[in-house]
Structure 1
Amino acid sequence: MDSAWIVLSLAGLITGFSKFSIGGMGLLILPILMISYPGPEALAILLPLYIVTDIMAVCSYKAKVAWPVLLRFLPLAFLGIYVASYFLASIDADQFVRFLGVMIIFMILLGLYLDYRPTTFMRKPWAAYSMGFFGGIVTMMANAAGPLFSLFLLEQKLNKETYVSTRAWAFFIINVVKLPFYLSLGLLTLETTEASLYTLPGLLVGSFIGYHFLKKINPVQFKWLIRIMSALAACKLFLFS
């Protein structure tokens, strides 16, 4: 349990830091947790962490939620979650690990593409629907749809306060919707909930560090560091699964 406790503490630390700093670390958190929990149950261990930080976020940003924007992509996100739940039910642990590696590489390549291409197409209705659907699949399978949802919201010309509030509520609603699906799949159990509790000290420390050191982080350099570490994690999933 000593090594598992270290992994859980590290996952909590990174989750808290990511939620209250510049984000973008979702692709890294799950592979780290899978060092000790190499299967889909790792998703269920992370979900309570995200809901705790989501509650903290929505309590901080209660006003100026762009509900019309949310209503454009949330229904398709729910559909994506529903479709992904059937996929999760039909694969074993080894297949899940390989699929996760593919998803991480895809998200990294998408981020690289969008760094150098215009994203004005995100304002079109079909983009909202597709981002919602694929985001629902990614969040259900990897808890890492933040870049997709953030990309869509950034192109809606929201002011900073509205963007932050809308983003916080989007993640909170989606993560709550995922709860019954993880329960029905047998992923969310007393054992995974107990493991989630071990992450809380790291989560609080990470949140404190992320909140107070946000201004000292170079976002561009940090983004590339996370991409490199996520790519290495994906290679580890492919080679050693």
Structure 2
Amino acid sequence: MPRAPPPSPRPRSAQPTCDVPELTWFAWALLALAAVIVGLSKTAVPGAGTLAVAIFAAVLPARESTGTLLLLLIVADLFAVTMYRRHANWRALLRLAPAVVAGVLLGVVFLALAGDIWVKRTIGVILILVIAITLLRRRFGAGVSDDGPHRVAAAIYGALGGFTTMVANAAGPVMSMYFLAARFPVNEFLGTAAWFFAIVNLFKVPFSIGLGIITPPGLLLDLVLVPLVVGGALVGRRLADRLDQKLFERLVIGFTIVGAVYLLVA
């Protein structure tokens, strides 16, 4: 009786590729819009970056979206630092440093333990919180005083800012409220914020690589989107004094709320 032919060998699993992620044209359009917003947020509309966070987390896997967006933010930070490099309050930055480092490390632990669904939900909650902080800042900003204990304020805002920036790149409103409370002049406010985010975002890179949220496909995606970030930053620099700031920020807040709700229910 003839023997049955030996089973054919199983095909080897495909090797991981470093190709740009396959996305629909609509997803590409959203990411392009988010890249422009990243540039604008650093040179013209502080706080608009929360909308970019929502778009990236909605289009890409939540963990990878954080690492991919981080590199675009670093590119935009270069423009902000170039514009306002002489106006930083280094004493305030040094006061914040210990709490920010602690917050970033807490965010690293969270990202190491949490799955993609939890990260997505957490980003949605963080976006809702930072929007609430932004609205409260606008309502009560005039009454905020820096007469309180600086160390306590620095510890609270620094830790919250470090955690939110590590998990969701969404510390803008949190830190803006702290700088507002310090009553910095406009240029000092912008310069201190520019240096803060440039330093912290670079500090996050090794952790993001170790956690695997900066990936080769994400790097290729960044290469495609970097020109749009640069374009957004340059346009923002020209339009900073011409934009209807209140209308634009209302639209940003509205769209960010929609994005945050999407992340919570998707």
TM-score under structure 2 length normalisation: 0.84
Matched, 1:55 2:81: no
Matched, 1:139 2:171: no
CA distance in 2, matches of 1:138, 1:8: 21
Pairing partner for 1:102 from 125, 143, 162: 125
Report the AA paired with residue 186 of structure 1.
Answer: G
3-state SS in 1 of match to 2:114 = coil
CA distance in 2, matches of 1:7, 1:72: 38
Number of aligned positions between the proteins: 240
Is contact 2:133-2:174 (8 Å) kept? no
Give the equivalent residue in structure 1 for 2:237: 211
Give per-residue Cα distances to partners, 1:72-95, cap 9 Å, x unaligned.
Answer: 112211110001110011111111
Pairing partner for 1:120 from 114, 131, 145: 145
Pairing partner for 1:153 from 179, 184, 199: 179
Report the AA paired with residue 103 of structure 2.
Answer: G
Q: Alpha-carbon deviation of 1:152?
A: 1.3
Pairing partner for 1:183 from 185, 206, 209: 209
Is contact 1:8-1:195 (8 Å) kept? no
Give the equivalent residue in structure 2 for 1:65: 88
Pairing partner for 1:225 from 243, 246, 251: 251
Pairing partner for 2:45 from 2, 8, 22: 22
CA distance in 1, matches of 2:228, 2:215: 21
5+ long unaligned stretches in structure 1: none
5+ long unaligned stretches in structure 2: 1-21
Give the equivalent residue in structure 1 for 2:261: 235
Classify 1:208/1:157 alpha carbon distance in 2 versus 1 (closer, same or farther; 3 Å). same
CA distance in 1, matches of 2:147, 2:260: 28
The more displaced of 124-133 and 33-42 is 33-42
Cα RMSD between the aligned structures?
1.8
CA distance in 2, matches of 1:159, 1:44: 32
Is contact 1:183-1:189 (8 Å) kept? yes
CA distance in 2, matches of 1:222, 1:64: 26
Matched, 1:80 2:103: yes
CA distance in 2, matches of 1:233, 1:154: 26
CA distance in 1, matches of 2:252, 2:224: 24
Runs of 4+ deviating beyond 4 Å: none
Q: Alpha-carbon deviation of 1:236?
A: 1.1
Q: Alpha-carbon deviation of 1:219?
A: 2.0
CA distance in 2, matches of 1:61, 1:114: 23
CA distance in 1, matches of 2:162, 2:93: 13
CA distance in 1, matches of 2:231, 2:87: 29
TM-score under structure 1 length normalisation: 0.92
3-state SS in 1 of match to 2:88 = coil
- Compare CA radii of gyration and give the structure with the larger one: 2
Is contact 1:13-1:202 (8 Å) kept? yes
